[in-house]
Amino acid sequence: MTETWLVTGGAGYIGAHVVRSLQAAGAEAVVIDDLSTGDLRRVEVPFVQADIADCELVADTLRRHRITGVVHLAADKQVEESMREPLTYYRRNVVNLMQLLTAMAQCEVDKLVFSSSAAVYGMVDSAQVREDHPTRPINPYGETKLVGEWLIRDQARATGLRYAALRYFNVAGTAAPELGDLGRTNLVPMVFDALARGEQPVIFGGQHPTPDGTCVRDFIHVQDLADAHVAAIAALDEPGAGHVFNVGCGRGYSVREVIEMVAEVSGRGITPRVGAARPGDPAMVVADTTHINATLGWRARHDLREMVNSAWRAQPRQLSAVRT
């Protein structure tokens, strides 16, 4: 029988890619999204517009569509916003997860893939970070993701829920132009925005303890990330499954290298300006991907050029107009 997965936040940039990966793997998907940041134009499967705080409606959706399991992405994800509005983040990322787990328990839906984040680590003191590195988040966003992992683990112990928590590193690129990232809060879209305004991008800090002085991150193509969800789902067939995985490439690129890649791909001359360091930015966060490689047989297939190239090509028309 075909499996049907409920994707919360499936109208979002990452969620829409997850839906497509599920379909490519032969599963069906149903999306629930409150459209606070999602876009209905990305959704081509049965859709329920709702906040997952609405436990009864979620339970009704689980029953009506005979849902096999849930991929839970609906959450707020801006670090700076979380510092200003911690209550919002705890409500939407933690309380709403409690509501979802309640509905799942009521309906005996016992498989969950959870969207976690490298933000659970905070400041990292090793070249590559393993899943057993101490978790010391430095902002409410990272804290809510870590609390989410704990909640799920405890519920799994109590009820036999099977789960995989995926700690996303820095997501970029797109599998199709219509699925592109509409958010403007991460490095690659912010560089594009600066170019669209006819300005030079700003590097946040040039004196970090890294080879070129700019921060180093592990960039992962959203298509690879989406495929990691499907690989994680396969591991949930095993009774008692409870996993935490880093999802990255295992290779770091500096902010300056990423901007150089944008210059190459776009054919634009770019001379970034080095500004002040952004408070709270760790110098270097790169995944150790041994665990996910060995356990799921998953590894990233796309490189930084493909991420930047696909994102560049998905840019809206107004940006094309200023391309030279």
* Chain residues that interact with ligand UFG, rule: CB under 6 A: 77, 79, 117-119, 141, 169-170, 186-187, 190, 201-204, 215, 217, 255, 278, 281, 285
CA distance 13 to 36: 12
To ligand UFG, the closest distance from the beta carbon of 128 in angstroms equals: 13
**What Rg do the C-alpha atoms of the chain give, in angstroms?**
19
To ligand UFG, the closest distance from the beta carbon of 169 in angstroms equals: 6
By C-alpha distance, which of 187, 167, 136 is closest to 287? Answer: 167
CA distance 233 to 230: 5
To ligand UFG, the closest distance from the beta carbon of 171 in angstroms equals: 8
CA distance 238 to 111: 10
Contact 25, 226 (CB under 8 A): no
Task: Reply yes or no on whether 141 is catalytic.
Answer: yes
CA distances from 32 to 61, 124, 178, 195, 320 (A): 9, 34, 19, 35, 33
Look at phi and psi of residue 180 and say left if phi exceeds 0, alpha if psi is from -120 to 50, else beta.
beta
Annotated active-site residue in 89, 121, 141, 253: 141
What single letter denotes the amino acid at residue 120? V
To ligand UFG, the closest distance from the beta carbon of 130 in angstroms equals: 15
Contact 119, 276 (CB under 8 A): no
Torsion of the alpha carbons at 235, 137, 121 and 36, rounded to the nearest 10: 50
Collapse the DSSP code of 287 into the 3-class scheme (helix H, G, I; strand E, B; otherwise coil) and give the result. strand
Q: Which is nearer to ligand UFG, 29 or 255 (CB)?
A: 255
Q: Which is nearer to ligand UFG, 47 or 204 (CB)?
A: 204
To ligand UFG, the closest distance from the beta carbon of 263 in angstroms equals: 14
To ligand UFG, the closest distance from the beta carbon of 77 in angstroms equals: 5
Contact 281, 217 (CB under 8 A): no
Catalytic residue positions?
A: 141
